[in-house]
Amino acid sequence: MTEGKSSRSGIWVVLLIFFMGAAPFFGALYLVKHPGLWGTQGNKGRLIQPPVPVQYDVFHPVAGDLSRRHPLKEIRGRWVILHPLTGGNQEDCRKILEDTRRLHPLFSKDIPRVRRLAVWSRRTPPDPGFRDWLEQDRDLYLAKTGEGFFSDLAGHILHAPLRCGQVVIMDPLGNLMMWYDAGFDPYDLYHDLKRLLKASQIG
């Protein structure tokens, strides 16, 4: 009888530890889906429902000094502002990258929890001038990926054509969970991500 009680107590301890670890993350997702809590409006971005898990190794490092100083392993377990560079209107890409560069310091003590990542397809790399411009952004991580990632992003995740100026949010568990179409107000992204950072200690 004593052994049975001890075994059941051990199971409850394990379940309690699991719940305490997972609760902040699921609380953050709840806040995104239920606007009005804490006296704020709901999320500004478009939710990806259900969130889509991505393997980190779909992103491959690119040659260059910036990539050596910012290895891709540093995006793991962080909130990632993902910029798909589609080869479209380059000025739209430049504008939103510049906007998120300016927003990044506003996260204050949470800056280490947020990463900015620009991704392009191996088939359509940025032209040399644009690549040089990207390399000058000291907080930006760079990666290349296969064409399949971009086609899945457009067809099965966003359900919209890809174009420069779009942004996707990836959570610390590697899930694509929210996105913004080209032309959005960058402070909408700041509003959403700030709420997520406040609600969850993951990442």
Residue 39 Rama label (left phi>0; alpha psi -120 to 50; beta): left
Question: Looking at residue 14, what is its pLDDT?
Answer: 57
Q: Where residue 183 falls among pLDDT bands split at 50, 70, 90?
A: very high
Question: Looking at residue 68, what is its pLDDT?
Answer: 72
Out of 19-33, 53-67, 90-104, give the one with best mean pLDDT: 90-104
The larger pLDDT score, comparing residue 14 to residue 103, is at 103
Cα(103)–Cα(190) distance, integer angstroms: 7
**Using an 8 Å Cβ cutoff, are 10 and 16 in contact?**
no
Secondary structure of residue 145 in the 3-state scheme: strand
Question: Looking at residue 52, what is its pLDDT?
Answer: 95
Q: Where residue 117 falls among pLDDT bands split at 50, 70, 90?
A: very high
**Using an 8 Å Cβ cutoff, are 24 and 200 in contact?**
yes
Q: How many residues does the chain have?
A: 203
Question: Looking at residue 82, what is its pLDDT?
Answer: 98
Q: Where residue 19 falls among pLDDT bands split at 50, 70, 90?
A: low
**Using an 8 Å Cβ cutoff, are 58 and 145 in contact?**
yes
Cα(143)–Cα(122) distance, integer angstroms: 9
DSSP string across 38-75: GG----SSEEEEEEEE--GGGSB--SSHHHHHS-GGGG
Residue 16 has pLDDT above 50, yes or no: yes
Per-residue pLDDT tens for 134-147? Answer: 999 989 999 999 98
Residue 38 has pLDDT above 50, yes or no: no
Q: Where residue 116 falls among pLDDT bands split at 50, 70, 90?
A: very high
**Using an 8 Å Cβ cutoff, are 117 and 141 in contact?**
yes
The larger pLDDT score, comparing residue 126 to residue 30, is at 126
Please write down the long-range contacts of 131-139, taking CB distance under 8 Å and 24 or more positions apart: 133/94, 134/66, 134/97, 135/64, 135/65, 135/66, 137/97, 137/101, 138/66, 139/101, 139/104
Chain centre distance of CA 148: 19
Residue 89 has pLDDT above 90, yes or no: no
Residues 45-199: name the CATH superfamily: Glutaredoxin (3.40.30.10)
Token pair in block for residue 129? 């001038």
In terms of Cα–Cα distance, which of 91, 44, 82 is closest to 186?
44
Question: Looking at residue 138, what is its pLDDT?
Answer: 87
Out of 12-16, 80-84, 92-96, 159-163, give the one with best mean pLDDT: 80-84
Peptide bond into 125 cis (omega under 30): no
The larger pLDDT score, comparing residue 129 to residue 63, is at 129
Question: Looking at residue 70, what is its pLDDT?
Answer: 80
